[in-house]
Structure formats: C-alpha cells, structure tokens
C-alpha cells in the first residue's frame, strides 16, 4: 500500500479531493475517472455506516484515488473498522488539543505506536495479500488528519501538529466560524486570522494544510495562499450546481 497523497504532499504538490456523502458506489466509480487525488467518505454528517464505506471504496481499488474516511468521532472502534475495510486514511472531527490528537493517532496505528487491533480484512484483500507486510507498512502509510473546528483548537494547533503520527490539519469553515461567533462570515478579519494561524502552523511543521472550498475560484485562492489539501465541496453540491446552471441557461430558473 502506497499512499499517493503522502507522496505528493512530500514533494510539495497540491492534492484535490471531494466529500462523498451519498451511499452509491456509482458515485465514487464515476468521479474516480476525474483527476481527484482523494475522496473523503463522510460518516459524520451523513447516514453512511461502515458497510456503506466499504461499498463506496470498492470501485477505487484500481484507481489513483486515495480513500479517506471522516469518522463520526474520535473513537478507536470506528477508526479500526474503517481502516480494516481498506481506508488509507482517516479525518477526525473536533480535535481540540494535543491529548485528543494523540488519541486519534493511537487508534489508527498498530502497536507499539498505537492500539489498533490486528484483524485486517479487506485492507489485505481477505488474505490474498500478506497480513505481515500490511502490518509492517500500515503505520507509515495511513494518513491521520484532524479537523480544526474551534477557537480552542486554533489556539492549540501547534501542539496538535507536534504529535508524531499527525499528518496534517483540516479547517472546517462552518464549525470554526460558528465557534468564533461569526457563522459563515468568511471575510471577517477574526476568521481570516484564525485560518492563517492554522495554515502557517501546518506550513512550519511541513504537514498537510487542508480546507473546504465553496467553488473553483475559492479553491484557486486557497492554493495561492498555500493550502495543499483542497476539497472541492461535496458530491451533492456539484450535482445541484450543474443542474441549477442548466435550468438558468434554459430560462426555467432566474
């Protein structure tokens, strides 16, 4: 297992992905033909469960898309299960401090670095691949990214990034702006300063700096600022945008 996202970031390249929120493997199969580097399959704000996650990853096996799962919480049981289904990384929401970052790393890593139980399943193709080799490489290849979604997390971002095994941070704009008391005021200087602090800390640590973007121009702006893990919103958003633009062109919508 080679994690292409880790490889690209280590070379100073920008990676692009999107959120998968619908539980149909046709979505991941179709989108995998576009030049995405990664998908985040979202278990936090969708009805998707572990079985759905496994189905959504299956079409990605022979592609260059790295499957990452946003787990619903910093829970070692869920983290273990999604990794056993073949996820190559996890995104952990609402990480506030160094201790919680350590907890996420321990859940994702095999001993002695962590506490992940050894029972690989689909990640070793049900035994057709070597469990011993997977055990040897999994700790290095598995991405662990944590979300910075509160003022407290921003204040602790340097300590969070100092944790061995944390590969990067991801800004959740809605939750962060809500925590700052300026919900969706993304041009507010308070919000901009908080995002800059997270970005600069990730750059200084040489780690992933990720953020959700609202449209292609916003994505381009974030790349210019120095983010290297760019989310092009999510599947439903771009689907609705495409049909909305079509109906506007047809004169049905104004």
Query: Tens place of pLDDT for every residue, the chain, 254 residues?
Result: 679 999 999 999 999 999 999 999 999 999 999 999 999 999 999 999 999 999 999 999 999 999 999 999 999 999 999 999 999 999 999 999 999 999 999 999 999 999 999 999 999 999 999 999 999 999 999 999 999 999 999 999 999 999 999 999 999 999 999 999 999 999 999 999 999 999 999 999 999 999 999 999 999 999 999 999 999 999 999 999 999 999 999 999 98
pLDDT for res 46: 98
- Tell me if the domain spanning 4-249 has CATH number 3.20.20.60: yes
Q: Where are the alpha helices (DSSP H) in 58-172?
A: 76-84, 98-108, 131-141, 151-155, 157-161
Q: Report domain extents, the chain.
A: 4-249
Sequence-ordered list of residues with C-beta below 8 angstroms from that of 181, at least 6 positions apart, any chain? none
The predicted structure's pLDDT at residue 2:
79
pTM of the model: 0.97
- At residue 155, the pLDDT reads 98
Alpha-carbon gap, residue 57 to 125, rounded angstroms: 13
| Neighbour tally for 196: CB within 10 Å | 13
- Rounded to whole angstroms, the maximal C-alpha distance in the chain is 62
How far, in Å, CA of 118 to CA of 236, rounded?
A: 36
Collapsing DSSP to helix, strand or coil, 93 comes out as coil
**Cα(103)–Cα(108) distance, rounded to whole angstroms?**
9
Residue 77: φ, ψ to 5°: -70, -50
Which whole-number Å values give the CA distances from 31 to 10, 56, 112, 200, 220, in the listed order? 25, 11, 37, 31, 20
Residue 95: closest CA among 44, 32, 29: 44
Q: Which of 13, 34, 45, 245 is catalytic?
A: 45
Residue 45 catalytic? yes
């Amino acid at each position: 297992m080679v994690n292409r996202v880790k490889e690209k970031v280590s070379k100073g390249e920008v990676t692009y992905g999107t959120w998968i929120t619908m539980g149909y493997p046709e979505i991941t199969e179709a989108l995998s033909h576009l030049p995405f580097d990664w998908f985040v399959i979202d278990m936090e704000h969708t009805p998707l469960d572990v079985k759905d996650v496994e189905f959504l990853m299956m079409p990605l096996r022979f592609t260059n898309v790295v499957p990452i799962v946003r787990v619903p919480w910093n829970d070692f049981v869920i983290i273990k299960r999604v990794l056993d289904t073949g996820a190559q990384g996890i995104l952990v929401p609402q990480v506030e401090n160094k201790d919680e970052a350590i907890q996420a790393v321990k859940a994702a890593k095999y001993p002695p670095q962590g506490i992940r139980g050894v029972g690989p399943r689909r990640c070793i193709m049900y035994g057709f691949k070597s469990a011993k080799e997977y055990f040897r490489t999994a700790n290095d290849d598995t991405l662990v990214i944590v979300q910075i979604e509160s003022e407290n997390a921003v204040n602790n971002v340097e300590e969070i990034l100092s944790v061995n095994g944390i590969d990067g941070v991801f800004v959740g704009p809605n939750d962060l702006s809500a925590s700052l008391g300026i919900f969706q005021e993304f041009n507010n200087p308070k919000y901009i300063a908080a995002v800059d602090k997270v970005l600069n800390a990730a750059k200084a640590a040489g780690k992933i700096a990720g953020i959700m973007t609202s449209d292609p121009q916003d994505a381009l702006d974030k790349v210019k600022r120095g983010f290297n893990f760019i989310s092009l919103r999510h599947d439903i958003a771009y689907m609705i945008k495409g049909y909305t633009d079509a109906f506007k062109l047809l004169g049905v919508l104004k």
